[in-house]
């Protein structure tokens, strides 16, 4: 994941099985991402109304310019700072 600094931003990464309508019963994952430019930090959390889908943890490589941070997102809120 690449972060382009300059201003605060929010983003929702949406994921479902891609083949069914199970998202209607809550079978989807939303990962909310919030960049705080002043703090140079990115927070990840599960979006309201969604749940973790298999796999239950995801390796994420967050890049900002020439810097890189590796984190694991398993549904628990996590923050990475540069």
68 within domain boundaries: yes
Please tell me whether residue 24 adopts helix, strand or coil conformation.
helix
CATH number of domain containing 18? 2.60.40.1180
**pLDDT tens, 11-68?**
999 999 999 999 999 899 999 999 999 999 999 999 999 988 888 899 999 999 999 9
Cα–Cα dist 32/11, whole Å: 6
Residue with tokens 């605060």: 8
Alpha-carbon separation of residue 8 from 5, 22, 31, 33 (angstroms): 8, 33, 17, 11
What is the reported pTM? 0.88
Domain count, the chain: 1
66 within domain boundaries: yes
47 within domain boundaries: yes
Q: Supply the range of the domain harboring residue 64.
A: 9-81
Q: How many Cα atoms sit within 13 Å of 35 on the Cβ side?
A: 18
For residue 55, whether the previous peptide bond is cis, meaning omega lies within 30 degrees of 0, is yes
């Amino acid at each position: 994941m690449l972060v382009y600094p300059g201003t605060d931003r929010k983003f929702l990464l949406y994921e479902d099985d891609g083949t069914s309508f199970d998202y209607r019963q809550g079978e989807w994952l939303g990962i909310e991402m919030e960049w705080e430019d002043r703090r140079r930090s990115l927070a990840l959390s599960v979006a309201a109304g969604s749940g973790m889908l298999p796999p239950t943890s995801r390796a994420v490589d967050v890049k900002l310019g020439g810097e890189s941070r590796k984190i694991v997102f398993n549904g628990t809120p996590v923050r990475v700072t540069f």
